[in-house]
Amino acid sequence: MINLNLGCGEDFSEELIGIDIHDYGQQHILDIETAELPYDDNEITLIKADHIIEHLKDVKHIFNEAHRVLCKGGEFQIKVPNAMWQGAFMPVHFQHITLSWFDFLRKDKTKLYGYKKWEIRVLEYSNVVDGVNKEITCILTPIK
């Protein structure tokens, strides 16, 4: 059972393998927007991505890579700022994510745009702009 943490920063361990573009001493240093994940097809059980997806200019590559390496029933756990929150529009955020952003990934036309298809379960969602909870948390499972 292999678990990955994309954009890990200092959050990695033997149980949660870290991947980041910067060197924090984690297991893998690579650019997830362009590099292939160093794992075989269907080899990964869990991929965690907390507050990293919004920083990517192009998400298609990493979503398709995650789809490739996740085993059947594997989970891609994503936490992002809700685009309804004004902080979502910081200059370092390239993706402005709402629930419809995720909904696109489960539709049949994803193939037309080069994305793989996902089953999506929303764990946490808030439209509160000035409240404490300004995040969307989803679990994506690859449809293989």
Q: Name which of 68, 19, 16, 20 is nearest 46 in CA terms.
A: 16
Residue 131: band (very low, low, confident or very high) from pLDDT cuts 50, 70, 90: low
Give the list of residues 6+ apart from residue 91 with CB closer than 8 angstroms, or none: none
User: Measured between alpha carbons, how far is residue 48 from residues 15, 16, 19, 26, 40 in Å?
Assistant: 12, 9, 10, 15, 18
Encode pLDDT of 30-72 as tens digits. Answer: 999 999 999 999 999 999 999 999 999 999 999 999 999 999 9
Q: In the prediction, which pLDDT does 83 show?
A: 84
Q: Which domains, ranges and CATH numbers included, belong to the chain?
A: 35-142 (3.40.50.150)
Per-residue model confidence (pLDDT) at position 142 = 96
Q: Who has greater pLDDT, 122 or 134? A: 122
Query: What's the pLDDT at 129?
Result: 56
Query: How confident is the model at residue 127, as a pLDDT?
Result: 61
Whether residue 9 has pLDDT greater than 80: yes
What was the pLDDT predicted at 128? 59
* pLDDT for the residue 11: 96
pTM check: above 0.85: yes
In the chain, the percentage of residues whose pLDDT exceeds 70 is 94
